[in-house]
């Protein structure tokens, strides 16, 4: 790796309780499983072995990302690093699919609709209802938000994340700093799409593994120094 470049490290949270039960999670605030804790520990070990220590950390407001970040930071002895949290790094909001079993949704609506809702770039699921017992919009931590979504497609995640990248994350990379972002499958896919100029047709096929750091080396404009497939940036 270059020694004169800024580094952006992306880590998807470890396996969550609803990952394990195959439920649409989105903004629902579930915790890590034991496997998820081990994946976070492994992510920290990989950063240690690569000699990568962040100067600042960004996470979502969701427990599974915050806990993953805490575990990684403890593993690399960087507990005192500044941590910034924002809903703009939250997982994609799955609307009224929140809490539903993915296999059951596929069976009820068919493969095409299932894939459009789960992976389609411009197709949001139905908006979440107040009757949904897992409605995360009632969480007090979102009480101050005026633009809280009721559902999202990946295009919506890109639209809310890129401004946060421009105003908060990217400026933190100045002076050859290393920034760690611990977030979610879709918020990280959105950021990778932006950084690597991935097309709308290609981005549905990107699946970021849990707990394994992705490392970008960026120039002063925030562009990747090397053009690589996203998963070729994984530490191993």
Residues with a known catalytic role:
13, 91
What is the rounded CA–CA span in Å between residue 91 and residue 94?
Answer: 9
Write out the DSSP string of the chain.
--SSSEEEEEEEPPPBHHHHTTB--TT----B-HHHHHHHHHHHHHHHHHT---SEEEE-SSHHHHHHHHHHHHHTT-TTS-EEE-GGGSPPP-GGGTT-BHHHHHHHH-HHHHHHHHH-SS-PPPPPPTT-TT-GGG-GGGTT-SS--S---HHHHHHHHHHHIIIIIGGGGTTT-EEEEEE-HHHHHHHHHHHHT--TTTGGG--PPBTPPEEEEE-TTS-BSS---GGGGB--
Q: What tokens does 231 get?
A: 């998963």
């Amino acid at each position: 790796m270059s020694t004169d470049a800024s580094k952006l490290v992306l880590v998807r949270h470890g396996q969550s309780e609803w990952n394990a039960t195959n439920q649409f999670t989105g903004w629902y605030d579930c915790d890590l499983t034991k496997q998820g804790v081990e994946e976070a520990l492994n992510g920290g070990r990989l950063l240690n072995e690569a000699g990568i220590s962040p100067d600042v950390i960004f996470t979502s407001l969701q427990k599974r990302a915050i806990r993953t970040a805490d575990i990684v930071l403890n593993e690399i002895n960087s507990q005192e690093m500044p941590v910034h949290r924002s809903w703009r790094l939250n997982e994609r909001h799955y609307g009224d699919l929140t809490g539903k079993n993915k296999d059951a949704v596929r069976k009820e609506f068919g493969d095409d609709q299932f894939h459009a809702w789960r992976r389609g770039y411009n197709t949001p699921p139905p908006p979440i209802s107040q009757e949904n017992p897992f409605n995360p919009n009632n969480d007090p931590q979102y009480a101050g938000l005026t633009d809280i979504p009721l559902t999202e497609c990946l295009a919506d995640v890109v639209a809310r994340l890129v401004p946060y990248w421009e105003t908060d994350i990217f400026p933190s990379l100045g002076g050859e700093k290393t920034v760690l972002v611990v977030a979610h499958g879709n918020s990280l896919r959105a950021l990778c799409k932006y950084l690597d100029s991935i097309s709308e047709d290609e981005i549905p096929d990107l699946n970021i593994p849990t707990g394994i750091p992705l490392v970008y080396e960026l120039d002063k404009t925030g562009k990747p120094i090397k053009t690589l497939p996203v998963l070729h940036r994984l530490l191993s």
